[in-house]
Amino acid sequence: MSSAQTAQRQGRRKGPRPKHIPQRMCVSCRERSAKRTLTRIVRTPEGRVEIDPTGRMNGRGAYLCDDPECWERALRSQALSRALKVEIDPETINRLRAYAATLPPVSRSSPEGASQEGSEA
């Protein structure tokens, strides 16, 4: 019974180093958080703006929190457009809004859970 193979040898001589968690900044609220709580938007080399859930697409990227409010604000304030250095056409904006609408509501760390804002049409 020898299962010591799982221990990887490489990198050992550098000693233990703290695991680096990449932090990204939301272009809307400018809050930093670990990458996985943000969604990457990318401007492709063709100049299209695409949602990039895997974070691997080619092009200039910008990040938004997984919070529909951040998306809406970024679209309205042109923050996303500025970050990507591209004009975002209405069709793309609609697509981004549609995507934001599918994001699960973010539970803010406030004790009161139910919001009473009935502004839904």
Which spans of this chain sit near Zn ion (rule: CB under 5 A)? 26, 28-29, 65, 70
The minimum distance between CB 70 and Zn ion, in angstroms, equals 3
26 versus 86: smaller Cβ distance to Zn ion: 26
Residue type, 115: S
The minimum distance between CB 26 and Zn ion, in angstroms, equals 3
Distances (CA, A) of 104 to 45, 68, 73, 113: 30, 8, 17, 14
Q: Which two tokens stand for residue 43?
A: 């401007």
29 versus 93: smaller Cβ distance to Zn ion: 29
58 versus 76: smaller Cβ distance to Zn ion: 76
β-partners of residue 30 are none
Residue type, 75: L
| Residue entry with tokens 């809307």 | 28
36 versus 58: smaller Cβ distance to Zn ion: 36
Cα(86)–Cα(114) distance, rounded to whole angstroms?
38
The minimum distance between CB 11 and Zn ion, in angstroms, equals 34
The minimum distance between CB 39 and Zn ion, in angstroms, equals 10
